[in-house]
Amino acid sequence: TLSTIFDSQFIFKLTTDSQINLIKHRPNLFNTNPSENLSSEINTMPALKKTPSLRIRKSGDRGHANHGWLNSYHTFSFAHYHDEDHESFGSLRVINEDKVAGGGGFPKHPHSNYEIFSYVLKGKMEHRDSLGNCEVLTRGDVQFTSAGTGIQHSEFNSDDREELYFLQIWVKPNQKGLKPNYQTLKFSDESKTNKLLKIISPKSEEKKEK
């Protein structure tokens, strides 16, 4: 069956085989009657043998932490926020909506055996990692880090005045001990406005499409 998570303006659709299927953006999803939007979204889903199982969680029900330099909302248990009813969803482990004050950021820290995605919505994010990558990402950029056997990275707001606003997403891979990898892709506003756009899928699905 197909399950859907509505988080802020984003739709996360995952199959029950614990692999992420689609992460898509619908900027006008909540601009009108919520019940009408939900019905519309259900009607646009592909035909399934079983009735889709939907679970809606309001933005205000998420975990929240404000550290001054970082204002973060957690969809699932994270850091000091714990909710046994919202630990993860299939392979999806973290969706953090982060706002970082000018000059603030996350110092170098390690990760392993996670697929980590950063979706920049506003501002400038400076990324550095132990693979030698160093770049500044802006609105529309999506950063893909496959931590694999181990990687260290840092993420800072490279602007001293403007706020950095991004989504931090972690997914458990279906295989451990992968070779660490990093890449970025850019998606224009036009490619996402009033339409669904696939930006992430398992490699097995990419091969089938080719």
- The confidence score (pLDDT) of residue 38 equals 44
Tens-level pLDDT at each residue, the chain (210 residues):
333 344 444 444 443 333 333 344 444 433 444 444 444 444 554 554 566 678 788 999 999 999 999 999 999 999 999 999 999 999 999 999 999 999 999 999 999 999 999 999 999 999 999 999 999 999 999 999 999 999 999 999 999 999 999 999 999 999 999 999 999 999 999 999 999 999 888 775 655 555
Pairing of strands 115-122, 20-25: unpaired
Q: Determine the pLDDT at residue 26.
A: 42
- The stretches of 56-174 forming alpha helices (DSSP H) are none
- Residue pair 3/51 in contact (Cβ under 8 Å)? The answer is no
pLDDT for residue 51: 64
- Helices within the chain (DSSP H only): 34-43, 203-209
d(CA 140, CA 191): 10
pLDDT value for 205: 60
